[in-house]
Every structure is written in C-alpha cells, then in structure tokens.
Amino acid sequence: MTATGQAQRHRPPGTTGPGALRCTGLRYSFGSTRAVDGVDLDVRPGEVFGLLGPNGAGKTTAIRVITTLLPVPAGMVEVFGHDCARERMAVRRLLGYVPQQLSADSGLTGRENVALFARVFDIPRRERADRVDAVLAAVGLTESADRLAGTYSGGMVRRLELAQALVSAPRLLILDEPTIGLDPIARTSVWEHITRVRVATGMTVLVTTHYMDEAEQYCDRVALMHRGRIRAVGTPEELRTGLGRAALAAGQTAADPSAAEPSATGPTVTEPTGPAGPTGPTATAPTLEDVFRHYAGSGLDGRESTEDGGDFSDVRRTRRTASRVG
Ligand SMILES: Nc1ncnc2c1ncn2[C@@H]1O[C@H](COP(=O)(O)OP(=O)(O)OP(=O)(O)O)[C@@H](O)[C@H]1O
Ligand SMILES: [Mg+2]
C-alpha cells in the first residue's frame, strides 16, 4: 500500500450530521430489466466508498439515479439529507460526477473543458478563472492546460474529467470506473490526485471499480453488488476476514454456522448466492476477489460469464480510455 493509500484509509470518516448518501429500497427498471432491485446504501461523510460488481450489476444505473439523471421510481435516495426525487437542484449542487462514458470534449483545451463545467455549475464569473486554475493544478494538468484534450493520454483525460467534476467543490464526488483501461502508473496517478483533494477538502467519494486491488487500497468500505442487489458491505478487511471464518467453518464438519455470519463489527451480508470460495482450513487467506466470488457467485477471472456475457477481465482488456478521445 502506498503512503497515500495509508493516509486515506486511516483517516476516520465523519460520523455526525446526515449521511453523505442514503439509499433505501432503491429500484430501477428498464422495461422488463430490473437493473437496480432494492438497494440499501449508507455512505458516511468523509469516507471513500466503493461499489463493486460485474458488468450489468446495476452500478451505473444506481449512480445515475443518485446523480438525479434518472428519476427515483421506487425507494428513497438522499444526499446530505436532500431528497433526490424532490430536491434535485439542491442535490446537484452538492455533487461532482465523473461518468463512465467520456465527458471531455477532444476539440477543446483542458482549460476550456473545465471552464465549460464552471459555467454549467453557475460558478460566479469573477471566481471562474481562479477555480479553473486551482482544479487543473490539483490534478496536475497546469502545464498541459492549453493543449487540446484530444492530444492527452488516457490518464490525463481521466484527470481532466476529475477536474471538471471538482470545479464546483462538491461534497460528494461520484466516480464511475475512474481508472478503467489505464496503465498502472496512470491509475495510481488518478488515485493520488483524488486522495490529495479528498484529504484537503474532506469530501466524500463514491466510486465504482472493477479493480479489486484499488478497492482494497483506497476504499474505506465497499459494497458488493450483483444483479441489482447489494450482497455484502464492509471494510475490505472485514469482508476478507468474514470469508476466512466462513471457509474455516465450511472445512469443519462440526462447524459453528454463525462463523459465516457477520459479527457486530464485521460485514453486513445479504443473501450469499455463490459457491464457497476457499474450502478448507488450510486455504490461503482470501482476497477481495475470493470474497466477491463467494457472495456474488461470479468470478473475476473470466472463467464464469456474467448475465450479459462480460466479465472483469474483458473489461480490463477492452476498454481504453485513451482511445475514447480524438
Ligand atoms: N439505457 C438502458 N436501456 C436498457 N437497459 C439498460 C440501460 N442501461 C442499463 N441497462 C441494463 O441494466 C442493467 C444494469 O446496467 P448498468 O449499466 O447499470 O450496470 P453496471 O454495473 O454499471 O455495468 P458495467 O460494469 O458494465 O458498467 C444491465 O442489464 C443493462 O443491460
Ligand atoms: Mg457501469
């Protein structure tokens, strides 16, 4: 773990006031496809919360409801106490959003892209130039600010999109697959910039990722989502430890069934549907990937397809942020 990751993980999230994000019984369907099927989430102020799940799990749909881009057809969603159905503008003012799809314009310079977002977010004209400069500096793009975004590398594009989302000084930053397709150095760079801003501002971060190592390193807590539902919630360590206990129990004929249950301080687990991960007391310590396979019933290694034929490995191989510009 990097020093930055350590600093982030050990920074205690705030516990007072309304939750940064609360979802209760959230559902969303596209025709007969139930993309989000009764999601409960409670993201605490100041924490980095990871929403993990395979292709088609419903992560982006849930995020689009939270960001008010989709209506709330069933359930309740609140951002810092503001209802996403009834107070959409108040919610939008609190949010920064880096969507899964490209949100930068290749025909504009980095600075022009961020300035556009500053106008959209109605930042007072006299403050705009300073705010744009500040967020470009915060993501390490000062030197490249006046180049066309179409000339940026994939990592620079993602950092530009981060600057666009940060220009409104959000209290809740939502990142949908912020590092997909980036090389390890670019991924680390994106996370280090997120971390630095988060530590400086105390903002809350909700992130989706397919990269278990990132979840492990940078997220205070994670929720495992599969087929529209949350299967387990906890710190990465709680989830791994919980699975270790379950594996031990599975390997002992006189096992205490409570060994697989969440402890008072451990993960919250709902409906484990998959096959057990490690199967005996001699199994090596479970990874977050093992935990995911256990609770969601689909592998991260490409050996089992998900409902729409994709898997984490496919996503890693095929999506290239860099190729999305230009
Ligand atoms: N605009 C749409 N119209 C119809 N169905 C949709 C639409 N968007 C998503 N879906 C379906 O809803 C389900 C959830 O999709 P969603 O994009 O939310 O998943 P995801 O977890 O973000 O996946 P990925 O990891 O691939 O980004 C899938 O079955 C998907 O096919
Ligand atoms: Mg998605």
Of the listed ligands, the closest to the CA of 314 is 1
Whether the predicted pLDDT of 15 surpasses 80:
no
Q: What pLDDT was estimated at residue 71?
A: 94
The reply to whether the predicted model has a pTM over 0.75 is yes
State the pLDDT confidence band at 259, using cuts at 50, 70 and 90: very low
Backbone φ/ψ region at 38: left (φ over 0), alpha (ψ -120 to 50), beta? left
> For residues 95 and 51, what is the distance between their CA atoms, to the nearest angstrom?
17
Beta strands 74-79 and 21-30 are: antiparallel
Non-local CB neighbours of 143 within 8 Å, separated by 6+ positions: none
CATH topology of domain 3-9+20-226: Rossmann fold (3.40.50)
The atom of ligand 1 lying closest to the CA of 63 is 18
Q: Which two tokens stand for residue 174?
A: 């939502």
> For residues 164 and 153, what is the distance between their CA atoms, to the nearest angstrom?
16
> For residues 196 and 230, what is the distance between their CA atoms, to the nearest angstrom?
29
Q: What pLDDT was estimated at residue 133?
A: 95
Condensed to tens digits (0 to 9), the pLDDT of residues 224-242 reads 999 999 989 999 998 888 7
What are the contacts of 121-130 at 24+ separation with CB within 8 A?
121/93, 121/167, 121/168, 123/167, 123/168
DSSP 8-state class, residue 304: S
Which segment of 12-26, 28-42, 172-186, 214-228 scores lowest on mean pLDDT? 12-26
Domain positions in the chain are 3-9+20-226, 237-308
Share of the chain above pLDDT 90, in %: 53
The atom of ligand 1 lying closest to the CA of 62 is 18
Q: Whose CA is nearest to atom 30 of ligand 1?
A: 56
Helix extents (H) in the chain: 3-9, 59-66, 88-94, 110-120, 125-138, 154-166, 184-201, 212-218, 236-250, 288-296, 312-318
Q: Which residue has the higher pLDDT, 250 or 198?
A: 198
Q: Whose CA is nearest to atom 16 of ligand 1?
A: 58
**70 near 260, Cβ under 8 Å?**
no
The atom of ligand 1 lying closest to the CA of 58 is 18
3-state secondary structure of 113: helix
Condensed to tens digits (0 to 9), the pLDDT of residues 98-137 reads 998 889 999 999 999 999 999 988 888 999 999 999 999 9
Neighbour-count burial for 31-62, b at 16+ CB within 10 Å, e otherwise: eeebbbbbbbbebbbbbbbbbbbbbbbbbbbb
Q: Cα torsion at 53, 54, 60, 63 (round to 10°)?
A: 0
For residue 51, which phi and psi values (nearest 5 degrees)?
Answer: -105, 110
Of the listed ligands, the closest to the CA of 61 is 1
Q: Which residue has the higher pLDDT, 148 or 295?
A: 148
The residue with tokens 């992560």 is 59
Any residues with Cβ below 6 Å from ligand 1, and which? 30, 33, 35, 53, 55-61, 100, 308
Q: Which residue has the higher pLDDT, 292 or 269?
A: 292
> Residue 118, Cα to own-chain centre: how many angstroms?
24
The atom of ligand 1 lying closest to the CA of 64 is 18
Q: Mutate which of 32, 33, 316 to test ligand 1's pocket (most atoms within 8 Å of Cβ)?
A: 33
In terms of C-beta density within 10 A (0-12 exposed, 13-18 middle, 19 or more buried), how is residue 205 classed?
Answer: buried
State the pLDDT confidence band at 254, using cuts at 50, 70 and 90: very low
